[in-house]
Structure 1
Amino acid sequence: MDEVLEVLEGELGTAALVGPVTEDVWFVFLRFGRRSFHLSDAPDADGLLYQYGTYAFDSPPTFTLDLVRQFEVTDNSGDHDHYVQVHCELRYGLAPALEALGSFNSWFFHGAGGDDLEEWAHGLTERPAWTVIRRLEPVEIRVYQEQV
């Protein structure tokens, strides 16, 4: 798990994102989401989360799109120990059109059956909110990892 954050940072760095718009970062995140890592066989061991809303966690309120990859970490016996989440957080400031989107989240888990990653991603880009945010240039992109 130590290398996962570096992998995402590397993907973002090699994409030559100059004045990136949301859609550019989304494609990089999906490429990162397709990468395989050695994990347990549990159906929720490797998940992607797409979530947005207006939040004020560590700063003034701002509209945030948070793209997350979550990995289950097991102990030596193979039992669940904790999760590691790698975030690619895009912050936009506040605008009435963004605040009007409210909040939303959607999970995808590799190996859990159901939709594949491409179907999940396509469904998200078909949502009306995508029309509003896809061409926006975030004022900040924050990449970090946390244990949950």
Structure 2
Amino acid sequence: MKPADSEAAFIAFAMDHGVDILHCTVREGFEQMIAFKRDVAAEGVEADDGDVLMYQWGTFDWGDGPHFLVELTRQFVEAGVPEDDAISQLSLTFRFPSTPQYENLGEGNRWFDQGESLQETEAEVRSHPGFVAVNSERAADVIVRHDYV
């Protein structure tokens, strides 16, 4: 799969596994994203850190009021492409109306490099307070997008 095709490929991958990614729980979505990383290789990416995951959480205001989000992003760095055009990201974002409980979780991110096993990555994300708070929930909004950064 080429990075530019990752959004459609991920949605199809999840559907093939019986998951409607836009109407699933956080846990189901993250399981699909990790399985997609494990099972579907990215073509044409740098050998070292050309295909990595990032987990992000926090309360943010994107112009329509504060929302708590948890997000799993697969970042690609394409080989042989000028630096400014080489980096893209496939993101799976779950947004929830903000509450004091969510705001108390703070915000941040954690990058996982290619040297870390997907089992370790999954275990760390599953134990994070942001994930634990919403893992069985269905979000107000689920966003899947691929963008060049």
* Fold agreement, TM-score > 0.5: yes
The 8 Å contact of residues 51 and 67 in structure 1, kept in 2 or not, is answered as yes
How many angstroms apart in 2 are the aligned matches of 1:118 and 1:109?
Answer: 13
Aligned-residue Cα RMSD (Å) equals: 2.0
| SS at 2:147 equivalent | strand
Counterpart amino acid of residue 6 in structure 2: V
Task: Could you tell me which runs of 5 or more consecutive residues in structure 1 were left unpaired when the two chains were aligned.
Answer: none
Measured against aligned partners, the alpha-carbon deviations of 1:39-66 in whole angstroms (never above 9, x if no partner) come to 3444221111110111112432101112
CA shift at 1:89, angstroms?
0.9
Counterpart amino acid of residue 121 in structure 1: E
The 8 Å contact of residues 64 and 90 in structure 1, kept in 2 or not, is answered as yes
Structure number with higher helix proportion = 2
Identity %: 22
- With normalisation by structure 2, the TM-score equals 0.84
Counterpart amino acid of residue 66 in structure 1: E
How many angstroms apart in 1 are the aligned matches of 2:15 and 2:87?
Answer: 25
Match of 2:52 in 1: 47
CA shift at 1:71, angstroms?
0.5
State how 1:1-148 maps to structure 2 within 5 Å: 1-14=3-16, 15-17=18-20, 20-34=24-38, 35-75=40-80, 80=83, 81-110=85-114, 113=115, 115-148=116-149
Counterpart amino acid of residue 79 in structure 2: T
Task: Could you tell me which runs of 5 or more consecutive residues in structure 2 were left unpaired when the two chains were aligned.
Answer: none
Equivalent pairs, count: 143
The 8 Å contact of residues 86 and 143 in structure 1, kept in 2 or not, is answered as yes
